[in-house]
Copies of this chain bind each other. A is one copy, B any other.
Amino acid sequence: MSSSRVVITAAENFPLIRPGDDLPAIIVSALRKQFGTLQGGDIVSVAQKIVSKAANRYLNLADIEPSATARELADVTGKDPRFVEAVLGESSAVLRAVPGILIVEHRLGLIMANAGIDQSNIEHEPGERVLLLPEDPDAFCDRLKRYLDDEFGIFTGVVMTDSFGRPWRLGTTGVAIGSAGFPPLLSMIGKPDLFGRTLRATEIALADQIAAAAVLVTGEASEGQPVVLISGLDWQPSDAGARALNRPKHQDLFR
């Protein structure tokens, strides 16, 4: 990778997405209208939330009967027991539960707050809907990448973004919960540095850096500009998805 100029552009006036919408077609239409065509190596970033909406990943809290565990964790965290039940339904482990905070291992292997379930930017309804993460973000990215490649006749990358907090730093940053086409992780192991010395083991989380860059323009409410084009990066094709970024449990020093 030796990119010198990267341009990050939001797709303008992207429509609000509703369950059943053909999101890949809407994305292609928006990109075509704004950019005409894409260039080989372009990466399209899509905010998780619109993927979840198109796939109707809503749950109605009124339909949820919280378990005893959910009630217990709701007591500890001060959260709605039905919301906690929804979180547990998406999780394989609870890492921390303290007032205001519930950190879990999502079934996708992501360590995150509330299993990524969001109540913001969801239309007000008596039923108090919440929105789960997509079933399989890497698979969505792969489908979208193939569709983009077909439509534009070039080789693209796709990333699906969410925003995570970090254990030792305040604020959220963009994270790649799905990716396709480009290598999510770049290995520098064994490459010589500027002085011919071999670099110590280093891997770069390319997909997460692209996600952080994309989120710079997605807008505050995270749905204002959910589709972003990243141009100018130089990369080699890869079959790995963002799931490859999950640190294996046996390497986890901080669980």
A125 to chain B, nearest CB (A): 10
Given the interface contacts A121-B194, A169-B205, A195-B124, does A217 sit within 8 Å of B253 by beta carbon? no
Tell me if A33 counts as interface (CB < 8 A to partner B). no
- Verify A217–B173 contact, CB threshold 8 A: no
- Verify A2–B224 contact, CB threshold 8 A: yes
Give Cα distance in the complex from A119 to B167, angstroms.
27
A: number of interface residues (CB 8 Å):
74
* Binary flags per residue of A89-133, CB closer than 8 Å to B gives 1, else 0: 000000010100101000000110000000111111000000000
Give Cα distance in the complex from A225 to B1, angstroms.
12
Within 8 A of B (CB), among A162-217: 163, 166-175, 184-186, 188, 191, 193-197, 199-200, 202-206, 208-210, 212-213, 215-217
* A174 contact set on B, CB distance < 8 A: 209, 212
10 nearest A-B pairs in the assembled complex, by CB-CB distance: A171-B205, A212-B212, A213-B213, A111-B168, A167-B254, A171-B203, A209-B212, A6-B8, A121-B193, A193-B221
Show the binding face of A for B, using Cβ within 8 Å: 1-10, 12, 16, 96, 98, 101, 103, 110-111, 119-124, 163, 166-175, 184-186, 188, 191, 193-197, 199-200, 202-206, 208-210, 212-213, 215-217, 219-221, 223-225, 233, 244-247, 252-254
